[in-house]
Structure 1
Amino acid sequence: MQAKELARLIKTGKAPCIVDVRSRGEFASGHIAGAVHLPLWAVLLRSSGLPADKDAPLVVLCEMGPRAELAQSLLGLKGRRRSELLDGHMSGWRRAGLPLVK
């Protein structure tokens, strides 16, 4: 999903569940409004913050991409098949000048 499309969906209240798999420090330094913080190490251990409906759409992101790709695969193993990656991840979100929550 493109960053500007996600920002538009957030503004309209129709955003999918945003899953940020970065570390606690990275998340605290700035994240997308409404994002669920689920560090990569915790993806297989817990589902807190994720929709109960396993068919709910998810957008997964990290700083540059590799952790999000792994998290997307792990979420798929847990039956969450409707996930996509945020194009450009957080670095792309910042480059686009989109808002962050601190």
Structure 2
Amino acid sequence: MSRSAAPFSRRILLKSLAALGLLGSLVAADASDTLSVSLDTARAEFEAGRVVLIDIREPNEHATGVARGARLLPMSQLGQRLGEISTDPKQPVLLICNTQNRSSRTLKALRERGYGHVRYVEGGMSEWARRGWPMVKPGL
């Protein structure tokens, strides 16, 4: 796509989102915000205490190991436990699953509900484990 076509495409996208009623939840996020964050950035921000990391994998997956201090909120329980996700836009939240498929889908649903401060982690826990980064059994 040429540089001159990029602004036009962005305007078309924004108009389409507005027509679908989806623009409001996306505008709530900072204009420079993206939907995802790299695994390296996620780990650094989490270990520095600047973000909340929510592991949305299911309990049998948690049993294989989790990042120490991550909140465990299985995707299958999200509807009943939505109140456990901060609505404070000043408290960034990162969703992580096994590969990023479920966390990216969950993110879309949360963004539609106004959670503009939530992003998903690229690569997920499978990549975390592949890199040999520290993991603990749930509850430790």
TM-score range (shorter-chain normalised) is 0.7 to 0.9
1:62·1:68 contact (CA, 8 Å) conserved in 2?
yes
Cα distance in structure 2, aligned partners of 1:43 and 1:27:
15
Give the counterpart of 2:47 among 4, 7, 11: 11
Q: Which runs of 5+ in 1 are unaligned?
A: none
State the secondary structure of the residue aligned to 1:46. Answer: helix
The aligned counterpart of 2:68 is: 33
RMSD over aligned CA atoms reads 1.8
Residue-by-residue CA offset, 1:30-84 (whole Å, 9 max, x unaligned): 111221111112222223542252x131111111122111211222233211122
Residue-by-residue CA offset, 1:8-36 (whole Å, 9 max, x unaligned): 2233232x111111101111221112211
More helix by share: 2
Measure how far apart 1:7 and its partner are: 2.3
* Greater than 6 Å deviation, 4+ residue runs: none
Give the counterpart of 2:59 among 18, 24, 32: 24
Higher Rg of the two aligned structures:
2
Task: Indicate the structure whose relative CO is greater, using CA pairs within 8 Å and at least 6 residues apart.
Answer: 1
Calculate the TM-score normalised by the size of structure 1. 0.82
Q: Which runs of 5+ in 2 are unaligned?
A: 1-36
Matched, 1:57 2:100: no
Percent identity, aligned pairs only? 26
The aligned counterpart of 1:42 is: 77
Calculate the TM-score normalised by the size of structure 2. 0.62
1:44·1:78 contact (CA, 8 Å) conserved in 2?
no
